[in-house]
Structure 1
């Protein structure tokens, strides 16, 4: 019996927990379908999150004639992007250290700069989309505060910051260590030993994605469709010279030149050779209010760190509600690996999250209810995806990852997946890279080398999987 890390993630469940990001839903695209599925398409994109949006945006932008359909198993943007933490947050100091150890100094610098570029890239798209999208999506720059609650971790952050500033002299001073008193006086965080303050972004991701999808449909109505509640049941390749791919759905089939897999934690359902290489992981989110607490500061986001425990939060600039997620130690993260269902809550993580903000901030916990407000507004789960070598897979799918004939530049299957819980600082530009690759453009100057899905990388990942397959403990270690 294969263990849980190599099982079929399946299609998204039909009865997910209700994400607060998706209230109210965007009725313009929520359950949108064509009266009949298109018979043929140049490109079929599977998944309507931020990766699927990015691929669609860039392909339609670069061509006046290309035809494209986006399929989703559920409502539009009801998966990971519509369930995340709302942060466009490159943990630059920590990520440089992580990737330096994995891939060396120069590659780590390129990965961090790639992640940092996402806020500007998304804001550029929004400026083109217009003021209505800008207002509804709340994409904004924020101060990122990491509150650290043990001396050992604080010392590690001080060393990481020194290494970071040495590698990024142009960014020196943009991240800084703050002592206990500084956190208390300026940022209203109590009991922490100290912290790291830097820059990041935040957004209402569901409104961003669904709003721009609606725009794309309006502007490209004769060559672009959104097909909600239309799961891809299978993908096969035929000898047809024009449209070799057949995508089967409960509503019929679409023949396509290209198929693009943007389904993150569910990618390995239609790509069984990726099971154990791309592994889903469930995460917990909540929305909370305080009787007494932080002022309404939509210009801040927080991370709360104690040893291997991480919580993260952003504040709605309009209502003051705080979106807070995490509640997992490494043991908790390991327990969530292999779980692709967002239909259940994580009881232990939720129990922690309901208490962490009153403990971290200077909050009077005696009065938990505020007039016309609930202490706990909502809670839900979402599905992330970890890769076996800790970076996304971006590119054309090679034969070793397929149980059907592989394609070539003119007609192929493509993938962008495996963001490890940091999709908002990876997915948009990975989707752009994929779109550029599909049209034969060179992205090597800005896409980090380890992200490329090559035959060599595929074989290396398969060797790693063979090595760790017999030990769930080693498999988990490779994923986290």
Structure 2
């Protein structure tokens, strides 16, 4: 089997339509021979880990960020661009081992929204950030009734997550959400932004503020990482080898390509998204983000209206789920899905949204993204099991925008203090079931 590495010439996403001046940047013509910390990956996980390592640090470490392709060309630039947790996720919550609860998870995500807003404002990032509400819509009556029962029970039990959620019944669901055939809907808090612009502009700030401490290298895939007797690591790349005292794997779906024990633990899976543009902006503007559950025989799409009136929408997984090799354990984001699958986006807004029938909305782009799926549905954060001086945050199961930022802060603290997950997670509110460990590897070994 080929090594799990980002492939050349990936499909072009809407989020990558305005390349940043750092897209192909290298701080130095050659790789540094040594450094304090190497971060592998320049998406949300890698750049925010660097931010927290360097930010408010009187003696910042020497950090090298390695990117296999162009800046932020992986999942961060291929997702839906919004941060939320679906009500169905809360309703079906299975925390696994540990003491963290569904309310801890809700508080964690709400905290990430607050922190994203804070960074955007403090660093003056122009990334179309919006605090919003979101709709979780059911088109299947039985599913809507089931969710309402769970919601009512959770509300009666005093679960905190229900305090920011709201239920809309069938009488008004279609009118309020504009979704044809809506049987019910829930609302909750969300935020949205242009993920690529957030990451690229934040990196630009870091390079300007820490020019002596930070070195960024694009088109430099790490091909393997080996440990030295002195406890340091050798990061082998296509352009040479760097010796680092510490390593952070911000590699999401590609993690098993560098840490073999994560084969069958973090599995690359392909997904599909699109950008749809009406002939003229539709008024009133769609001001909420969406998850639309089309029923048990199909699945759920996610939708993020942009400030300019265009729409980013992804999903359609039921159209290719039976063709397992086309998506499971597949890290090729250069090959589109079959035309019959991509047709899902044709006329999408006209079919599903009231008031869009005469919009002339057309598909602008369709692209592929690679997600990191884990057997228990949660990311792996902390020290790489069984290895000194290496840490990781990866395996976000398609929900990275709602999970990464505080996990990155935790990993940065671990690296600075030479500690493990259990030493910092509680103080930052990171759910304990995010922690990676030998036990989790054993529990998930060979399980899809």
What TM-score, normalized by structure 1, do the two folds share?
0.85
Residue 82 in 1 paired to residue 91 in 2? no
Mapped to 2, the partners of 1:329 and 1:355 lie a distance apart of: 18
Corresponding residue to 2:7 among 13, 19, 25: 13
Q: Secondary structure at the match of 2:246?
A: strand
Contact 1:284-1:381 within 8 A present in 2 as well: yes
Question: How many matched pairs?
Answer: 436
Task: State whether residues 48 and 405 of structure 2, in contact with CA within 8 Å, keep that contact through their aligned partners in structure 1.
Answer: yes
Matches within 5 A, 1:115-264: 115-130=109-124, 133=125, 136-166=126-156, 168=158, 170=160, 172-240=162-230, 244-264=232-252
- In 2, the alpha carbon distance for the partners of 1:25 and 1:8 equals 29
Residue 333 (structure 2) pairs with residue 342 (structure 1): yes
Taking only aligned residues, the RMSD between alpha carbons, in angstroms, comes to 2.3
- What SS class does the counterpart of residue 93 from structure 2 fall into? helix
Are the counterparts in 2 of residues 280 and 339 from structure 1 also a CA contact under 8 Å?
yes
Aligned to 1:283: 271
Task: Describe the shift of the 1:105–1:150 C-alpha distance in structure 2 as closer, same or farther (beyond 3 A).
Answer: farther
**Which of the numbers 307, 314, 333 marks the counterpart of 1:325?**
314
Flag the 1:106–1:395 CA change in 2: closer, same or farther, 3 A.
closer
Q: Provide the residue aligned with 1:443 in structure 2.
A: 425
Distance 1:310 1:69 in 2: 39
Give me the whole-angstrom Cα distance separating, in 1, the residues matched to 2:272 and 2:160: 36
The answer to whether the 8 Å contact 2:15/2:194 transfers is yes
3-state DSSP class of the match of 2:235? strand
Q: Which runs of 5+ in 1 are unaligned?
A: 1-6, 400-405, 469-474, 476-480
| Distance across 1 between alignment mates of 2:26 and 2:85 | 33
Quote the Cα distance in structure 1 between the aligned partners of 2:128 and 2:363: 22
Contact 2:11–2:333, Cα closer than 8 Å, also in 1: yes
Residues 339 and 88 (structure 1), Cα distance of their counterparts in 2 relative to 1, 3 Å cut: same
Which 5+ residue runs of structure 2 have no aligned equivalent?
A: none
Separation in 1, partners of 2:127, 2:356: 32
Task: Give the CA deviation at 1:206.
Answer: 0.3
Deviation digits for residues 60-83 of structure 1 (CA, Å, limit 9, x no counterpart): 125323110110100010000011
- 1:472 aligns with none
Residue 90 (structure 2) pairs with residue 96 (structure 1): yes
Displacement of 1:152 after TM fit?
A: 0.8
- CA shift, 1:100, in A, is 4.0
1:417 maps to which residue?
Answer: 394
Q: 2: CA distance between counterparts of 1:207 and 1:266?
A: 22
- The alpha carbon displacement at 1:204 in A equals 0.4
Q: Which moved more, 1:450-459 or 1:171-180?
A: 171-180
Correspondences of 1:4-43 after superposition (within 5 Å): 10-43=4-37
Partner of 2:103, secondary structure, is helix
2:168 counterpart SS class: strand
Contact 1:326–1:349 at 8 Å: present in 2 too? Answer: no
Alpha-carbon spacing, 1:12–1:101, altered in 2? closer, same or farther (3 Å)? closer
Q: CA deviation at 1:97?
A: 2.6
Runs of 4+ in 1 over 6 A off after TM superposition: none
Contact 2:100–2:433 (8 Å) recurs in 1: no
Alpha-carbon contact 1:296-1:315 (below 8 Å) kept:
no
CA 1:27–1:145: 2 relative to 1, 3 Å: same
Match in the other structure for 1:434:
411
Name the SS for the 2:425 alignment partner.
coil
Match of 2:261 in 1: 273
| Residue pair 1:47, 1:70 contacting (<8 A) in 2 also | yes
Q: 1:167 to 1:448 in 2, by over 3 A?
A: farther
Q: 1:414 to 1:102 in 2, by over 3 A?
A: closer
Question: In 1, distance between residues paired with 2:107 and 2:351?
Answer: 34
Q: For residue 429 of structure 1, report the CA deviation from its aligned partner.
A: 1.3
- Residue 402 (structure 1) aligns with: none
CA distance in 2, matches of 1:334, 1:44: 38
SS at the partner of 1:444?
Answer: helix
- CA–CA separation in structure 1 for the residues paired with 2:322 and 2:212: 44
Match of 1:455 in 2: 438
What is the rounded CA distance, in whole Å, between the counterparts of 1:67 and 1:77 in structure 2? 21
8 Å CA contact retained: 1:310, 1:326: yes
Q: Supply the distance in 2 between the matched residues of 1:334 and 1:387 (Cα, whole angstroms).
A: 20
* 1:358-437 alignment runs, 5 A limit: 358-363=350-355, 365=357, 369=360, 375-399=362-386, 406-407=387-388, 412-437=389-414
**TM-score with structure 2 setting the length:** 0.91
Change (3 A) 1:291 1:173: farther
CA deviation after TM superposition for structure 1 residue 111, in Å: 2.0
**1:385, 1:419 within 8 Å by CA — same for their partners in 2?**
yes
